[in-house]
């Protein structure tokens, strides 16, 4: 009897220490146009000067703790966030604590400030406002520290399903493959009060097009607002495999359409049947090196190094006196594999109860995630337009694909996680000119000119597959 009582008492003391805790909030990161000069990113070769703000941009934060492990999810209403920016945010918040993990995601909306250095006043000139970026980093760090004092026990349940994309999202590049997967993770207190809802779906936030001059979060804004209205808690949207190119199936480029699409996705996510299971909280990641093969990136290395540290083929950091001449050398002589620069990036896997999140640092083509070369995800359209550019589908890779490897009741595929390397194009369909500017483009092959290179696909997908096959810590 004494032994039984002792074991029950020990379990009572230990279980609260292992309980999943959470807290959530959102931080306004809208640029102050009166004091912060920014350029809108996302279209063309140069930025657009904003004329005003239609709706606010947010950093949406969900902080989780189980035992000694603390994980912060940060969702940004930005086009992208480089690895060096992620590391700076980690360093400021975690301050060297190895038990604190950070997972940063950008929704990739196309009407916000240039945070990648690619959309300034003129082509090739950075549009980054460092004071703005320092301000939002400080606000995020302060908010995370406050959330650490507000953690409370929660239960984690989720749901998964397939959302018919017609009228919501379409594929603008053959083969026609749209990832229809929709997933939701709900964090609730014991009394049922919602702390946060995490929604995962795949489509570019570009309902509002290149003529727009107003700052907006695009459809993720109304999506999160709808979830928050219905649940009473915070909402974090995680975009998925959006390369290829998955773009809104909108009737017009207006804010009615951003609201329609965002609300439809939110309502579908909230209707998903709840699933439990999984094994608490864990996070693991893998740093890898990727060669810079894109000729445009090599010509404008200064923009790339706004958020990446250059390395040589052996992984040694290139000092500035060795790095800057590489662009001139590439222009005049060209670079060989021996003197080509490399950048470090990372792939991550995050488990939260029934959900497993695979974080990829790029705009991943959906066929790398789900396959679909057989027309399974074409949704009424021919897999390849007979009048369009030829696609050699016989050379397409066979499964299993990355989603097949996310073994969890609620799998989530997350793009633009912790870094941004451009499009991740399937190797069999990668076509780019050998000219310095990669022009003229192959018809139907725009994405290659905005990809770090062909080799990145095998490196990143191979790393992801290996991480997903590893046993959980």
Q: What is the pLDDT of residues 80-97, one digit of tens each?
A: 999 999 999 999 999 999
Instruction: Tell me the pTM.
Output: 0.95
For residue 282, CA distances in Å to 65, 121, 278, 285, 450 come to 10, 43, 11, 10, 33
The SS3 of residue 394 is: helix
pLDDT of residue 302: 81
pLDDT of residue 124: 84
Tell the residue number behind the tokens 């000694």, with chain if given: 68
Tokens of 367: 């066929």
pLDDT of residue 11: 33
Tell the residue number behind the tokens 């991740």, with chain if given: 424
**How large a percentage of the chain has pLDDT more than 70?**
96
Give residues with Cβ within 8 angstroms of 19, minimum separation 6. 66, 153
Measured distance CA(164)–CA(374) in Å, rounded: 17
Give residues with Cβ within 8 angstroms of 379, minimum separation 6. 164, 165, 166, 176, 178, 180
Do the beta carbons of residue 239 and residue 202 sit within 8 Å? yes
- For residue 245, whether the previous peptide bond is cis, meaning omega lies within 30 degrees of 0, is yes
pLDDT digits (tens, 9 = 90+) for 274-284: 888 777 999 99
In a 13 Å sphere around the CA of 7, the CA atoms on its Cβ side amount to 4
Residue ranges for the chain with pLDDT beneath 70: 1-18
The rounded mean pLDDT for the chain is 94
Tell the residue number behind the tokens 């990143």, with chain if given: 460
Give residues with Cβ within 8 angstroms of 354, minimum separation 6. 156, 157, 158, 185, 275, 276, 277, 278, 408, 409, 410
pLDDT digits (tens, 9 = 90+) for 24-75: 999 999 999 999 999 999 999 999 999 999 999 999 999 999 999 999 999 9
Neighbours of 200 (CB within 10 A): 25
pLDDT of residue 324: 80
pLDDT of residue 18: 63
């Amino acid at each position: 009897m004494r032994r039984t009582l002792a074991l029950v008492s020990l379990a009572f003391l230990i279980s609260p220490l292992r309980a999943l805790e959470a807290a959530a909030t959102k931080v306004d990161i809208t640029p102050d146009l009166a004091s912060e000069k920014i350029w809108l990113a996302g279209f063309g070769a140069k930025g657009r000067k904003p004329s005003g703000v239609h709706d606010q941009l947010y950093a949406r934060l969900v902080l989780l703790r189980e035992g000694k492990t603390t994980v912060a999810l940060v969702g940004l209403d930005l086009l992208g966030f480089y690895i060096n920016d992620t590391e700076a945010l980690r360093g400021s918040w975690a301050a060297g604590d190895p038990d604190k993990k950070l997972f940063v995601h950008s929704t990739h909306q196309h009407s916000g400030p240039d945070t990648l250095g690619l959309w300034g006043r003129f082509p090739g000139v950075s549009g980054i406002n460092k004071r703005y970026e320092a301000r939002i980093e400080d606000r995020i760090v302060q908010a995370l520290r406050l959330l650490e004092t507000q953690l409370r026990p929660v239960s984690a349940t989720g749901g998964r399903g397939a959302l018919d994309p017609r009228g919501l999202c379409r594929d603008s590049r053959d083969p026609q493959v749209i990832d229809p997967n929709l997933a939701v993770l709900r964090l609730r207190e014991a009394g049922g009060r919602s702390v946060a809802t995490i929604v995962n779906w795949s489509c570019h936030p570009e309902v509002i097009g290149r003529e727009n001059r107003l700052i907006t979060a695009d459809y993720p804004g109304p999506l999160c607002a709808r979830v928050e209205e219905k649940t009473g808690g915070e909402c974090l949207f995680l975009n998925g495999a959006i390369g290829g190119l998955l773009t809104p199936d909108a009737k017009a480029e207006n804010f009615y359409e951003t609201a329609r699409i965002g609300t439809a996705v939110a309502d579908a996510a909230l209707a998903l049947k709840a699933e439990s299971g999984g094994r608490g909280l864990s996070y693991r990641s893998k740093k890898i090196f990727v060669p810079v093969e894109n000729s445009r990136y090599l010509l404008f290395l200064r923009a790339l190094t706004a958020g990446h540290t250059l390395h040589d083929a052996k992984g040694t950091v290139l000092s500035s006196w060795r790095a800057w001449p590489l662009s001139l050398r590439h222009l005049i002589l060209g670079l060989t594999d021996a003197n080509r620069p490399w950048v470090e990036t990372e792939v991550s896997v995050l488990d939260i109860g029934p959900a497993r999140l695979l974080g990829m640092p790029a705009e991943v083509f959906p066929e790398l995630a789900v396959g679909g070369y057989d027309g399974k995800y074409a949704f009424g359209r021919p897999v390849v337009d007979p009048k369009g550019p030829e696609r050699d589908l016989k050379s397409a890779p066979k499964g299993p694909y990355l989603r097949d490897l996310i073994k969890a009741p609620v799998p989530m595929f997350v793009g633009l996680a912790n870094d941004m390397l451009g499009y991740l194009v399937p190797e069999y369909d990668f076509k780019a000119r050998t000219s310095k500017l990669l022009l003229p483009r192959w018809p139907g092959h725009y994405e290659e000119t905005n990809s770090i290179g062909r080799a990145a696909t095998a490196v990143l997908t191979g790393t992801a597959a290996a991480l997903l096959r590893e046993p959980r810590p």
